[in-house]
């Protein structure tokens, strides 16, 4: 579990708490996405190895109230907006 706080984002991550790829500790660090060289702020889920992101399709909702999404193919480059917190930094504060 010590690996989870590395500076490399996981291959796949989701904002949906119902997904098996949801990880609140990683999301709390802030994850940014560059897709085909452009900064995206509305990404719901991404996969680096398969080369796709999932974004909302306008304001439409499904019958469960979740946003309808579309999958876009391209080069995905995730990054963390904040560095990982380590025990040493917290101890010195």
Chain Cα centroid distance, residue 38: 15
pLDDT at 1: 38
Contact 69, 54 (CB under 8 A): yes
Task: Indicate whether 87 belongs to any domain.
Answer: no
93 domain residue, yes or no: no
- Reported pTM: 0.79
| Within a domain: 12 | yes
What is the pLDDT tens value at each position of the chain, 93 positions in all?
Answer: 345 557 889 999 999 999 999 999 999 999 999 999 999 999 999 999 999 999 999 999 999 999 999 999 999 999 998 877 655 444 444
Pairing of strands 67-73, 52-61: antiparallel
Domain around 16:
8-81
Find, among 55, 59, 58, the residue nearest to 70 by Cα: 55
In our burial notation (b when 16+ CB lie closer than 10 A, e otherwise), range 40-65 reads: eeebebbbbeeebbbbeeeeeeeeee
| Parallel, antiparallel or unpaired: strands 31-35 and 38-40 | antiparallel
| Res 5: pLDDT | 59
40 within some domain: yes
**CB contact set of 35 (below 8 Å; sequence gap of 6+):** 43, 53, 72, 74, 75, 76, 77
């Amino acid at each position: 579990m010590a690996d989870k706080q590395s500076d490399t984002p996981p291959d796949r991550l989701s904002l949906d708490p119902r997904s098996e790829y949801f990880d609140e500790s990683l999301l709390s660090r802030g994850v940014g996405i560059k897709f085909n060289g452009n900064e995206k702020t509305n990404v719901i889920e991404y996969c680096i190895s398969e080369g796709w992101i999932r974004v909302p399709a306008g304001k439409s909702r499904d019958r469960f109230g979740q946003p309808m999404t579309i999958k876009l193919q391209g080069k995905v480059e995730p990054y963390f907006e904040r560095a990982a917190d380590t025990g040493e930094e917290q101890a010195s504060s």
